[in-house]
Chains A and B, each alone.
Chain A
Amino acid sequence: MGFENCHPLVNFIYFAVMLYATVNFRHPVFLAISFLCAFAYSIKRNGKKALVFNLALLPPIVAFALYYSSYTHFGVTVLAENFIGNSITLESLVYGAVLAVSFGGVIMWLSCLYSVFSADKIIYLFGKISPKAAMLLSILLRMAPRIKNGAERLNTAQCSIGRGVNCGGVIFRLKNCIRIFSALVTQTLDSLISVSESMQSRGSTLRGRKAFSVYRFDNRDRAYVICMFSLITLTAMGGTA
C-alpha cells in the first residue's frame, strides 16, 4: 500500500507540482531536494535498473555544465581562460550545473511517473472528457507496447533472411533499419484503424459510457490532499515574499 495505491488524483497533483517546481525553481536547495528525492523514489520503484540509469545520468550533467560554461561567459569570478581568450567563470559553471541538474531531475521524475501511472489511471483521469477521448486515449496508450512488439517481430523475421538490424555493414544495416521502420509504420496504421473500428462498433463511443475504475476517494486521500495543498501554499508564499 504505497503512494501508487492512492487515488489517481492525488498522484496527479503530486507529480504535476513536482515537475513544475523542478523545471521552474532555480534555488539550489530546492533543486537538491528534488534531485535526491527523485533519485531515491525511482530506485524504490524500479530497483537496480533505475540505479544504473540514474548513475548514467551523472556524467552528462557534468558534461553539460562544462559545455555551458564554455560558451557563456557572464559573471566576475574567472577560473581560467580558454584558447581564444574568453574567460570561463564560476557563475556560468554553476548556472550550467543548475540547469543540468534540473533537467536530470525531470528525467528521473518522469521515470517515476511512468511506473506509478498505469494506463487505467490515465483513462480514469482524462477519459471523463468524453467517451471518444477515453477510447482514443486507451488506443494510444496501448500503442507503445504494440509498436515495440511489432518491431521485435519484424526484426526477427528479417533476421532469419539475413536482413536484420544487426546484419552486414553499416550502410546495409541502415537500409534494413529504414525498411523495418517503413513496414512498422504500415503495420501500425493498419492495426490502429482496425482496432478503432472494432472498438467503435462495440459501442465504445456511445454517449454516457464510462470507463471502468476501482478508485475510491477515502480518508487517506483526503489527508494527502490537505497536507499537499498546505505545503504547496507555504512554498508558493515563500516564492511571492
Chain B
Amino acid sequence: MKKSDKLLLSAFFVFIPLTLFIGGRLPGRGYYITAAALIAELSVPLFASFKKGKPQARELAVLALMCLICIIGRVAIPVPNFKAAFALIMLTGISFGGSAGYIVGAITAFVSNFFYGQGAYVPWQMMAYGAGGMLSGFAFYNGKIPKKPWILALFGFVGVVFFIGPLLDCSHMFLSMPQTGLKSFAASFISGFPVNVSQGVCTAVIMLVFGKPIIEKLDRFKLKYGILEPENGI
C-alpha cells in the first residue's frame, strides 16, 4: 500500500469525521468553513500521490476538467435523483486512483450545490460523493477486477445503494433527527432507500453504456502523458 493511500484512509476514518463533528457545531454559515477544511484535508493525500509531491499544472488541469464533466453530469440531467455524477466520479476514481476520485467528488458536490442550494448538509455530501470515488479507486486498485461493462454496472449499483447512499443517510440522521443511534439510522436508511435505488439504477445504466469508453479515454491520457498513475504501470 502506497503512502498516499495510507494518508487517504487515515483522512477518511479519522480526520474527516472529526471535521464533520466539529463543523456541525459551528453556527450559521459555518458549513463553508467545514467545506473548505475538507478540501484542504483531501488535497494532502492527493498531493502525496503526485510524483514530485507537487501538482504539475497539467494534472490540475485534467482534474479540473473531470470536475467540470461531473458537475455537468449532475446539473444537466433534469430528472431528480437520477444523476450521472456518481458514475462519473466513480470512473474518475477507477482510472486516476482513490485520492483523485475523492477530491473530484468533493469538489463536484461543493460546486454543483451552488445550483441546488448550499446548506448544512454540504460537507456531508462532499464526504459521501468523494467516498464513492475513493471506494472505486481501491476496488479497482491493481487491475485484478476486470473492467467489463457489466461488472462496472454492478459495482456502481452496489456502491451507490450500500455505500454512498448510507453515508448520505447518515447526514440526515445527524442533522435532522433528535437522537442518533442504530434505530434512527435504520429509519433514515429505509426512508432514503428508494432514492438510493433510483440513483443506483442511473449509475448502473451510465456505467453500462459509457463506462468502458470513458475508462479507455482516461487510460489513454495516463499512458500518453504519464499523469495521475495510481500504480506502477497500468
Which of A182, A185, A196, A205 makes the CB contact (< 8 A) with B61?
Answer: A196
B residues bordering A, Cβ < 8 Å? Answer: 56-58, 60-62, 64-65, 69, 213, 217, 220-221, 225, 227
- Closest residue on chain A to residue B209 by CB atoms: A178
- Closest residue on chain B to residue A140 by CB atoms: B64
- Tell me whether A136 and B217 are in contact (CB under 8 A): no
- Tell me whether B64 and A196 are in contact (CB under 8 A): no
Main secondary structure of the interface of B (DSSP, over half): helix
Q: Measured between alpha carbons, how far is A158 from B214 in the docked complex, in Å?
A: 21
A77 → B minimal CB distance (Å): 28
A148 → B minimal CB distance (Å): 14
- Tell me whether B217 and A139 are in contact (CB under 8 A): no
- Closest residue on chain A to residue B218 by CB atoms: A189
- Tell me whether B58 and A197 are in contact (CB under 8 A): yes
Residue A132, interface by CB 8 Å? yes
Using Cβ atoms and an 8 Å threshold, which residues of chain A touch B58?
192-193, 196-197, 200
Using Cβ atoms and an 8 Å threshold, which residues of chain A touch B62?
189, 192-193
Q: Measured between alpha carbons, how far is A182 from B213 in the docked complex, in Å?
A: 9
Residue A219, interface by CB 8 Å? no
Using Cβ atoms and an 8 Å threshold, which residues of chain B touch A188?
65
B204 → A minimal CB distance (Å): 18
Q: Measured between alpha carbons, how far is A140 from B57 in the docked complex, in Å?
A: 12
Main secondary structure of the interface of A (DSSP, over half): helix
Q: A193 and B217 in contact (CB under 8 A), knowing A185-B69, A188-B65, A199-B57?
A: no
Q: Measured between alpha carbons, how far is A199 from B213 in the docked complex, in Å?
A: 30
Please encode chain A, from 186 to 216, with 1 for each CB lying within 8 Å of some chain B CB and 0 for all others: 1011001100110110000100000000000
Q: Measured between alpha carbons, how far is A199 from B60 in the docked complex, in Å?
A: 14
- Closest residue on chain A to residue B225 by CB atoms: A193
Using Cβ atoms and an 8 Å threshold, which residues of chain B touch A9?
none
Please name 18 pairs of A and B residues whose Cβ atoms are closer than 8 Å in the assembled complex, sorted by A.
Answer: A136-B60, A136-B61, A140-B64, A185-B69, A186-B220, A189-B62, A189-B65, A189-B221, A192-B62, A193-B58, A193-B61, A193-B62, A193-B221, A196-B61, A197-B58, A199-B57, A200-B58, A205-B57
What are the 8 closest A-B residue pairs judged by CB atoms, nearest first?
Answer: A196-B57, A193-B58, A196-B58, A192-B61, A196-B61, A200-B57, A193-B225, A186-B217
B232 → A minimal CB distance (Å): 22
Using Cβ atoms and an 8 Å threshold, which residues of chain B touch A136?
57, 60-61, 64
- Of B62, B65, B69, B221, the most chain A CB neighbours within 10 A belong to B65
Residue A90, interface by CB 8 Å? no
A residues bordering B, Cβ < 8 Å? Answer: 132, 135-136, 139-140, 182, 185-186, 188-189, 192-193, 196-197, 199-200, 205
Q: Measured between alpha carbons, how far is A189 from B60 in the docked complex, in Å?
A: 11
A115 → B minimal CB distance (Å): 20
- Closest residue on chain B to residue A200 by CB atoms: B57
- Closest residue on chain B to residue A192 by CB atoms: B61
- Tell me whether B57 and A185 are in contact (CB under 8 A): no
Using Cβ atoms and an 8 Å threshold, which residues of chain B touch A199?
57
Q: Measured between alpha carbons, how far is A186 from B62 in the docked complex, in Å?
A: 11
- Tell me whether B217 and A182 are in contact (CB under 8 A): yes
Using Cβ atoms and an 8 Å threshold, which residues of chain A touch B56?
200
Q: Given A136-B64, A196-B61, list of 6 further CB < 8 A pairs? A: A136-B60, A140-B61, A193-B61, A193-B62, A193-B227, A197-B58
Using Cβ atoms and an 8 Å threshold, which residues of chain A touch B61?
136, 139-140, 192-193, 196
B228 → A minimal CB distance (Å): 11
- Closest residue on chain A to residue B66 by CB atoms: A189
Using Cβ atoms and an 8 Å threshold, which residues of chain A touch B64?
136, 140
Q: Measured between alpha carbons, how far is A186 from B224 in the docked complex, in Å?
A: 12
B10 → A minimal CB distance (Å): 27
Using Cβ atoms and an 8 Å threshold, which residues of chain A touch B217?
182, 185-186, 189
Using Cβ atoms and an 8 Å threshold, which residues of chain B touch A200?
56-58
- Tell me whether B221 and A135 are in contact (CB under 8 A): no
Q: Measured between alpha carbons, how far is A193 from B221 in the docked complex, in Å?
A: 10
